[in-house]
Structure formats: structure tokens, C-alpha cells
Structure 1
Amino acid sequence: MNKLLCMLELQQKLNDATNGPEWEKGVTKQGKKINWCRCIYMESAEMIDSFGWKHWKSIAQETDYANLQIEIVDVWHFVMSLILEFTHKNGAETIEELALRMSQTPEYQKLSTEQNLVFGSDELLMVKIENVVRLSLIPVSPEMIGALIEEFFELAYLGALNLTQLYRLYVGKNILNQFRQDHGYKEGHYIKIWNGLEDNAVMKSAWEKNGDLTPEALYELLKKAYPA
């Protein structure tokens, strides 16, 4: 459960820093309305583009599984944000209690292994992605939140992300998001392609080369690699 609690706490801190301390009310510190469900279905659409699904174009395109995993983690940011917002509004649980309840789901337990997982079929992955999209388009309720948690963990499992890999990629993307904010992302002058590679790929490669990196060390590595 510690990894899950850590991810929820990191997401809370990221949202506090980026959107302001009252983001759970649905508005950023700049007065911009927040819609986490829209974030989920729009990012899920990007995830679908990891597949060669267009029957009229690029018919020989192979599935980009590395990008798929990154997109799963991107959606995870927004799923957690929605869950944290819903929990805050209802005042029913602390983050610790929320993490404990989520960790007890059978879908989460399947991720809690150090064994390497294998990718599910493209067809089954697509079904799970579209289930996440479908849930993000209905009114938010305890039942919707519960189903979304289950479907996301199933998606991560089929995307060959065990808990350690999900945690590592999430922490990496969390640090990358902080790095982006510190280097002009909102202002529009952040550079996303670094010497021919997208910043996501640079971050993922850094973790693959050294799984013992601390978040602080990863930030410094990104700082050195950034083509400013």
C-alpha cells in the first residue's frame, strides 16, 4: 500500500502546487474551471493512438507499447485527481484510508507482484481503454469512482505494468511535470523534443538505466539533458 499512498500524496502535492490549494473545488488559482473527467477521456484518446487502429491510414503501423505505458500513467494522474477531488468533497475518508481501500481491490492485488507482466491483446486493451472513457462520460458517483478504479487497475495490468513499474513511471512523470512547470510549460516556451526524443522517452530511459534514482536525482538528470 505504501507505493499507492505515496502516489496519491504526490498527486495531491502536484495539484496543490500547480492549481492552487483549493483545486478540489473545481477551479484553479487562476480561475480556470477544472474537469478531470474530460482530462481522462482526452488522454485516453491519445492512448488509443498508440495502436494502428485506423483502417484507412498507416495500416502497417505496429502498436507502440512503450508509449502506451506512458499514456496509461498520464491517465493515472487524472484518475487520482478525480478520486482525490471526490473524496475531499464528500469528506468521508483521509488519503490514508482511501489508499487502504483501493489497495484491497482484487484488481490492485494483481498488480502487486514483482514478476514481469505481459501485454494483453490489443483488442482487450482497447476494450479496457474504452471502458475508462465510458465511465468518464457518466455522472460522478461512488459507484462510478469504484468502477473507474477497478477498470484502471485492469488496464494497467493488461498494459504490463506491475505496481513497481506503475509507481516508477508515475514518479518519473510527476517529476517531469514539475520540471515542465519550472521551465515554461504554461507560458508556452517549454521544449518537448530533446535531441530527437520526446521528454517522456528521456525520462523513461533514465529510470530504465537506473531504477534506484531518487526523485531529486531524476530532476537533476533532466536538468542536465534539457536542450535549453
Structure 2
Amino acid sequence: MDKILLMLQLQNQLNDATNGDEWTKGITKNHKTINWRRCIYMECAEMVDSFSWKHWKSIDKEPDWDNHQIEVVDVWHFIMSLAIENYSQNLRGGVEDLGINISQLPSFATIDIKSDSFSSQDEVIDKIENIMRLVLSKKELKLEELISDFFDLVVMSGLDLETLYRLYVGKNILNQFRQDNGYKDGSYIKVWNGEEDNVVMKRIWEENSDIKPDHLYKELTKSYLALT
């Protein structure tokens, strides 16, 4: 419960900082329409590209599980944002209420068990496409089913609550770092010496198991300053 609540709080804070205090109404501080459903299915499409699904190209290529796991975390950002927006707009409660309800879902127990094994490529892609179907539907959002399917995906992707939390916090800090270094105006450099910043962040996090979020930010700053 604690890790779920902390991730929801961090996501809420990030959205407040980047989109303005009234982002749950579906509009940013710059009057740009927010569509979390579209964010989710577009990220899901990128996730599928972690696999050699094309029957005409690179048919023997192994799945890129490291990239896939980063994409899983990216989708989690948007699912949490959609859930917070849904609770706000439907007067279901705040972040704390959402955290309690998520922790009571039967599927939550499955991610609270250590896991590092992967399901087959076809099974994972089927689950991703089911998530896409849920957010593409024009009917009322089935939020609990969406979150449950996502937790299934977490387990199928060799992740659990602890690793999801660690990668989420790392990506959250990276997103803050991007915003602070020109991401919105297009001046930010995303590829650092041939590696995406996602990969650099993941390596720093894995090589320093006890690193704190503020220290991770400092390490990203050092790497970026060396690049620029």
C-alpha cells in the first residue's frame, strides 16, 4: 500500500508541476487538452515494438526486455494519471482513496510477490492489446479492470511491486530532470553518447541500489553536463 500511495503522490505532484493545478479537469495550464487514454495506447504501441512481432523483419531477434520494462513504467505513469483524473471528475475521492482501493484489488496481491520471470512474447502482446482495447473503448472507463490488467502485465514482464516502484521513482526523477532541462521547448538531448537517457537512468539505479531520488537527480545532472 505504501509504495502504491507514494507513486500516486509523486505522479500527482509531477502533473501539478508540468500541467498546472487543475490538470484533472482535462486541460493544462497552457490550455492544451489532456487525453490520458491516448497516452496509454500510444505507449502500448511502443511497448509492442520491444518484440520481434513483424513476420517480415528480424524474425529471430530476441525481445528487448529492458526497454519493455521501461515502457511498462511509462504506461503506469499514464494509468495513474487517468485514475486520479477519474476519481476527481467523478467525486470518488482523492489520491489516498485511490491508493486504498487499488491495494484492495485481488490482482494487487500478485505484484506483491517477488518476480523476475517473463511470459511468452505472444502472451505479453495479447495483454498489451487488451489494455489498448480498454482505453480505446468509447464506453464508460472500466478503471479497475484496466489496473488489474496492468498488474497482470507487470508480473508477465518480470516485474513486481518493488521493481515497479524503483523504476517508477527513477523515471519520475528523469521526467523532472527533462522538464528542468528544456524538454518542452525541444532543446533537451535525449540520447547521451549513443544511449537513451532511460537506459542511463536504469543503469545508475541498478548500480547504486541504495541511491536516494535526490542523489539520482544529481547523478543525471553530472552525466548530462558532461555531455553538453
Do these two structures clear the TM 0.5 threshold for a shared fold by scoring above it? yes
In structure 2, the partner of 1:11 is 11
Supply the AA of the counterpart residue of 2:69.
Q
In structure 1, the partner of 2:206 is 208
Q: Which 4+ stretches in 1 moved above 2 angstroms?
A: 139-142
Tell me whether 1:68 sits opposite 2:75 in the alignment: no
Deviation string 1:28-49 (CA, Å, 9 cap, x unpaired) is 1111100000000000000000
In structure 1, the partner of 2:51 is 51
In structure 1, the partner of 2:223 is 225
Identity rate, percent: 55
Supply the AA of the counterpart residue of 1:132.
I
**Whole-angstrom distance in 2 between the partners of 1:169 and 1:58:** 28
Q: Secondary structure at the residue paired with 2:169?
A: helix
**Whole-angstrom distance in 1 between the partners of 2:211 and 2:109:** 26
Tell me whether 1:103 sits opposite 2:99 in the alignment: no
Supply the AA of the counterpart residue of 1:214.
K
In structure 1, the partner of 2:122 is 123
Question: How many residues are aligned here?
Answer: 226
Supply the AA of the counterpart residue of 1:5.
L
Cα RMSD for the two superposed structures? 1.0
Deviation string 1:178-200 (CA, Å, 9 cap, x unpaired) is 00000001110111111111100
In structure 2, the partner of 1:134 is 133
**Whole-angstrom distance in 1 between the partners of 2:140 and 2:5:** 22
Q: 2:145 aligns with which of 132, 144, 147?
A: 147
**Whole-angstrom distance in 1 between the partners of 2:148 and 2:192:** 36
TM-score (norm 2): 0.96
Deviation string 1:133-164 (CA, Å, 9 cap, x unpaired) is 0001013636x111101100000110111100
Gaps of 5+ in 1: none
**Whole-angstrom distance in 1 between the partners of 2:158 and 2:106:** 16
